[in-house]
Every structure is written in structure tokens, then in C-alpha cells.
Amino acid sequence: MLSFKKLKFHDEYTQETDAYTADVYWAKTFIGSAENTGKGGMTNLSNWTEKKRSPAYRKAIEEATAFAKTQMYSNPDLGNYDTLEDYIDSAAWQARRIKDVQKALAKRLTILRA
């Protein structure tokens, strides 16, 4: 399962896509730091060289990449994700939308309680 730690959106840099940074994990194994500059380009997944030598790291990357390629875009006409980075970008976007809805609901619920 893909998960994020330190997921932070940078609205001041967002132009065409959400600008964000995050530490990315697959099955609790760190697989890299993701960054999207918000200018419409791809998400960049960087990882530390010493981690690349670890069998657990290599296994996690292989599993995460294989899983990502089995997942479909929300628009079925686009087919499946081609890369792990595309899937990470989509997962971050979904996490952002969930957080936005939670904030909106929290505000609404506060008003209703008053």
C-alpha cells in the first residue's frame, strides 16, 4: 500500500498542477521523496543512493511500480498509469481533495452546532 509522510502542498508555487513535497512509502518501506513543482511537469521521485542497494528497497520499488501499472486513471479512456510517479501524483491529488472536503465539513459542522 502506498502512503505519504510529510505531505505538504505549496499553494504559492501551484500554477498548472498542485505543487507538493512528500516522503513516499510502500508497505512501510521508504521509497523516495516526491516533488511536483506545480508548473505542469511530472512528479519527481528521488531516492537516496544507499537505499537503492537494500533488497527491501528494491523489492518495495518493484512492487509499487507493478501495482501502479495495474491502476486505471479516473478517466477510463486514459487506461492504466504508465509510471509509479504518475500514480503518486494522482494519489497526492486525491489526498489533497480529501483534506479539502474534511476542512469544509469541519467548518460546516461547527456552524451547525452553534
Q: What does the alpha-carbon distance between residue 67 and residue 82 come to, in Å, rounded to a whole number?
A: 11
**Residue 21 dihedral angles phi and psi, to the nearest 5°:** -135, 150
Residue 7 lies in domain: 2-113
Q: Which helix (H) or strand (E) holds 104?
A: helix 84-113
Please state, in angstroms and rounded to a whole number, the distance separating the CA atoms of residues 11 and 32: 22
Predicted local confidence at residue 107, as pLDDT: 77
pLDDT tops 70 at residue 103: yes
Choose between 84 and 13: higher pLDDT.
Answer: 84
pLDDT at residue 7 in the model: 95
CA proximity to 36, closest of 4, 62, 67? 4
pLDDT tens per residue across span 26-57: 999 999 999 999 898 888 898 765 666 788 88
User: Domain tally for the chain?
Assistant: 1
Q: Residues 67-100: pLDDT tens digits?
A: 999 999 888 888 999 999 999 999 999 999 888 8
Q: Does this model's pTM top 0.85?
A: no
Residue 112 clears pLDDT 80, i.e. is over it = no
